[in-house]
């Protein structure tokens, strides 16, 4: 195989890894589905890589031969009042590409979507599938507020990553799956997020 499995986590001094069980659960499920050995060594490798008194961004990579690499970097949380500008990509995802449900190093389609806009034009870029359904951002899952105060997020069948934050919100009852189209995010509360950054309020700029 010409790709690896990736998990990107946040580590906080005193409390440790954020959502670690869900990250390990996803990694092990993807490794089993795709035939990667070595996932059982991920937690040990993560714990050995972190120390100090500053928050860290931690990237774990599991290779097809079972090898594991862990890299760390300082991480600064976004201010609570952050609002990201999002734009819509011309690049499309395929709803029948089941590899999109796993977090891998194969990111050409996301890189192409991100490259459609300069950094000062958009903080994040959203992708549709071939049916015109909303899927996800290049590094985030998408969430839209509904009339009941819950969040709506596109289903995995649309062709997108099963994000760790997304999983947590669905399992806790704070979010549910629903097929969404661009018109559904007009005049609605829009959020994007991942496990590293949490939920971030967003503004769609056409």
Which listed CATH number (3.40.190.10, 3.40.50.11540, 3.40.630.30, 3.30.470.10) goes with 5-74? 3.30.470.10
pLDDT band for 206, please (50, 70, 90 cuts).
Answer: confident
Q: What is the mean pLDDT of residues 106-114?
A: 97
Answer for the pair 10, 18: CB distance below 8 angstroms, yes or no. yes
Q: What is the mean pLDDT of residues 66-80?
A: 96
For residue 52, count other CB atoms closer than 10 A to its CB.
Answer: 10
Answer for the pair 46, 70: CB distance below 8 angstroms, yes or no. yes
The pLDDT of residue 138: 98
Q: What is the mean pLDDT of residues 12-34?
A: 97
Percent of the chain with pLDDT over 70: 100
How does pLDDT run across 37-51, given as a tens digit for each residue? 999 999 999 999 999
The pLDDT of residue 139: 98
For the chain, the residue count is 206
Q: Give the residues across from 200 on adjacent strands.
A: 192
The pLDDT of residue 68: 98
Ranges of each domain in the chain: 5-74, 83-204
pLDDT band for 35, please (50, 70, 90 cuts).
Answer: very high
pTM assigned to the model? 0.95
pLDDT band for 149, please (50, 70, 90 cuts).
Answer: confident
Is residue 202 pLDDT above 80, yes or no? yes
Is residue 154 pLDDT above 90, yes or no? yes
Answer for the pair 62, 78: CB distance below 8 angstroms, yes or no. no
Q: What is the mean pLDDT of residues 68-85?
A: 96
Q: Any idea which fold 83-204 has?
A: D-amino Acid Aminotransferase; Chain A, domain 2 (3.20.10)
The pLDDT of residue 62: 98
Cβ neighbours for 82, distance < 8 A, ≥ 6 positions apart? 200, 201
CA torsion 196-198-203-205 (nearest 10°) is: 20
Is residue 187 pLDDT above 90, yes or no? no
């Amino acid at each position: 195989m010409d790709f690896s499995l990736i998990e990107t986590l946040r580590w906080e001094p005193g409390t440790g890894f954020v959502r670690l069980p869900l990250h390990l659960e996803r990694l092990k499920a993807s490794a089993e589905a795709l035939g990667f050995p070595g996932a059982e060594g991920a937690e040990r490798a993560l714990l050995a890589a972190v120390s100090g008194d500053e928050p860290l961004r931690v990237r774990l990579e599991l290779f097809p031969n079972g090898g594991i690499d862990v890299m760390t970097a300082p991480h600064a949380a976004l201010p609570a009042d952050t609002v990201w500008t999002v734009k819509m990509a011309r690049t499309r995802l395929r709803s029948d590409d089941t590899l999109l449900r796993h977090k891998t190093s194969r990111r050409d389609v996301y890189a192409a979507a991100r490259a459609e806009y300069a950094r000062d034009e958009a903080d994040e870029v959203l992708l549709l599938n071939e049916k015109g359904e909303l899927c996800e951002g290049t590094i985030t899952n998408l969430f839209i507020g509904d009339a009941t105060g819950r969040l709506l997020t596109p289903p995995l069948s649309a062709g997108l990553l099963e994000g760790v934050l997304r999983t947590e919100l669905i399992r806790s009852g704070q979010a549910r799956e629903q097929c969404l189209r661009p018109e559904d995010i007009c005049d609605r509360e829009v959020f994007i997020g991942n496990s590293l950054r949490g939920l971030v309020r967003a503004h769609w700029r056409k």
